[in-house]
Amino acid sequence: MNKLEDIVSLCKRRGFIFPGSEIYGGFAGTWDYGPLGVTLKKKIMDAWWKFFVEDRDDMYGIDAAILMNPKTWVASGHTATFADPLVECKECKSRFRADKIANNINESVTTEEFLATHTKCPVCGKENWGPIRKFNMMFSTHVGAVLPDDDQELAAKNIAYLRPETAQGIFTNYKNVVDTFYPNLPFGLAQQGKAFRNEISPRDFILRDRECSQMEIEYFVHPNAWEENFEKMRKAQHEFLEEIVKLPKEKIHEFEVPAEDRAHYSKRTIDFMFDYPNGEEELMGLAYRTDFDLQNIARESGKSMEYRDKITGETLIPHVIEPSIGVERLFLAILATAYTEDEINNEKRIVLKLPENLAPYKFCVSPLLKNKPELVTKAKEVYDILRQKYSSITWDDSGNIGKRYRKQDEIGTPKCIVIDFDTLEDNTVTVRDRDTTKQTRIKIDNL
Ligand SMILES: [Zn+2]
């Protein structure tokens, strides 16, 4: 098994992540978070929110609806261009994303370019391809009381999409926030939430799934000041990734997207790449989007997106710097960093060395023996004391102490606190450290 498979297996075994709808045979590209997974995910999202929103004076949070007026996606260009190149093997009818099965081509590949690569079908090995077709990745749905046998025209009018990104929910609220809070430039609007993409071939565990969570900021700046603000935002991303969620600096690589690969409106885009177990993959993006989105909205809505500076009186359309990160991508980077196999007393052990601020549980409290009522009573007492002092603590009295340690190591609990017969004498407990397995005696009052 490779490391990614080990992580997938641990996630299932210990209740972090289960395959979506597993009981009905699964549902491709979806994953369900179990009790520990949802806790870890929430802590990651809360850490981001605290760092980028709560601890700053220039950020405002919003939470827009997932279902948005379809004009949103016309204005943003998603209706016309949010598509992947789909190619079908004429022999076995398998369908693929052309740019994922051939080398050195990108999403805008033409049929001729693809055929020239002489790619063989990954399923049947033949080389007999149909034309490249554009496959729009937005999930559509019908909104309102429309029945399948209603006339087509009416049905078409009621098509809406599950949002393919959270960014447009921010842009469409820019004017609301400006009109109610009168923020000074630069200021940012932040949003966390679900986004949906009908990936042709979901793969790599939670890296490429059909339903994901995003954390995005649109940072509005004076057009003359985009470069310095881009630089500040770039540094803030590193600080968050390296200091707050503790990803190893040496595994994060900046990739300056060259002009020919950038969106036409962007003057600078950096992809933050991460060394995942299966190779380098995009972790997040930082893009300078100019006034592209606000201009599109102004055109489609007929409303002015102008911003008036309170001091100088200058009127302008702000430019935008957008850091965008997928929660699942970050989740997997954190898990892959934490996942460690080592040997303790000649025994192989799996341990999740999660940072303390992210571990689902900070402490596990347990009595040395569960059939000694005096130990159990004392342990409950200690548990109650810690419960009042800290959140994120757990109780475990299953199996023997060795098994409990093993379980807590695998779910990343930094400290195990054990109540034994000495505790009854001198009010000290054993505190066992996850990473070193060292045990120390500490007074209950000093916990
Ligand atoms: Zn085939």
CATH topology of domain 361-446: Rossmann fold (3.40.50)
CA distance 128 to 94: 11
Q: CA of 93: how far to CAs of 44, 88, 126, 275, in Å?
A: 41, 6, 11, 34
pLDDT value of residue 191 = 98
- CA nearest to 301, candidates 213, 193, 172: 172
pLDDT value of residue 148 = 67
Domain boundaries, the chain: 3-82+144-336, 86-136, 361-446
Q: Each residue of 382-423: pLDDT tens digit?
A: 999 999 999 899 999 998 999 999 999 999 999 999 999 999
The token pair at 343 is 């040997």
The length of the chain, given as a count of residues: 447
CATH topology of domain 3-82+144-336: BirA Bifunctional Protein; domain 2 (3.30.930)
pLDDT value of residue 204 = 83
Give 27's contacts (C-beta < 8 A, 6+ positions apart): 20, 21
pLDDT value of residue 447 = 86
Strand, helix or coil at 26? coil
Beta bridge partners of 344: 347
Q: How far is the CA of 139 from the centre of ligand 1 (A)?
A: 26
Q: How far is the CA of 154 from the centre of ligand 1 (A)?
A: 39
Give 342's contacts (C-beta < 8 A, 6+ positions apart): 348, 349, 351
Q: How far is the CA of 146 from the centre of ligand 1 (A)?
A: 38
- CA nearest to 66, candidates 208, 150, 198, 165: 165
Q: What's the predicted TM-score (pTM) here?
A: 0.92
Q: How far is the CA of 126 from the centre of ligand 1 (A)?
A: 6
Q: How far is the CA of 121 from the centre of ligand 1 (A)?
A: 5
Q: How far is the CA of 119 from the centre of ligand 1 (A)?
A: 11
Phi first, then psi: give them for residue 109, nearest 5 degrees.
-60, 140
Q: How far is the CA of 88 from the centre of ligand 1 (A)?
A: 8
Looking at residue 249, the DSSP 8-state letter turns out to be G
Unique residue bearing structure tokens 């430039």: 185
Q: How far is the CA of 269 from the centre of ligand 1 (A)?
A: 37
Q: How far is the CA of 90 from the centre of ligand 1 (A)?
A: 7
CA distance 174 to 260: 30
Percent helix / strand / coil, the chain, rounded to 5: 35, 30, 35
Which amino acid, 205? F
- CA nearest to 92, candidates 134, 132, 128: 128
pLDDT value of residue 157 = 76
Flag residues of the chain having pLDDT under 70.
Answer: 1, 148
Q: How far is the CA of 277 from the centre of ligand 1 (A)?
A: 29
192, 48 in Cβ contact below 8 A?
yes
The enclosing H or E element of 294 equals helix 292-301
CA distance 415 to 37: 19
